[in-house]
C-alpha cells in the first residue's frame, strides 16, 4: 500500500508546489489535489489567477517593512 501512496503524495506535493504562487496557495492546492486527483489539481492550478504581488517595501498590513 505504501508503494502506491508515496508516489501519489509526491505528485500531490508537486502540484501544490507549482501552485504556491496562485490564488489558493500551497496548502489549498495540496488539499485540492489530495481530495480529487493530482490531474484535477493541476487543472485548477492553471485555471486560477496568480496571487497579487505587494508593492516593494510594503507588507500585507500596509505598513512599511523595517529592515
Q: What is the pLDDT of residues 4-60, one digit of tens each?
A: 899 999 999 999 999 999 999 999 999 999 999 999 999 999 999 888 876 665 555
Give CA–CA dist 36/16, Å, rounded: 13
Q: Does residue 44 contact residue 38 with C-beta atoms inside 8 Å?
A: no
4, 48, 59, 56 alpha-carbon torsion, rounded to 10° = 110
Contact 25, 17 (CB under 8 A): no
pTM of the model: 0.71
Q: What is the pLDDT of residue 66?
A: 58
Amino acid at each position: 500500500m505504501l508503494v502506491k501512496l508515496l508516489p501519489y503524495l509526491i505528485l500531490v506535493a508537486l502540484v501544490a508546489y507549482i501552485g504556491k504562487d496562485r490564488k489558493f496557495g500551497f496548502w489549498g492546492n495540496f488539499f485540492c489535489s489530495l481530495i480529487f486527483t493530482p490531474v484535477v489539481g493541476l487543472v485548477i492550478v492553471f485555471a486560477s489567477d496568480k496571487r497579487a504581488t505587494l508593492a516593494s517595501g510594503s507588507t500585507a498590513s500596509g505598513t512599511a517593512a523595517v529592515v
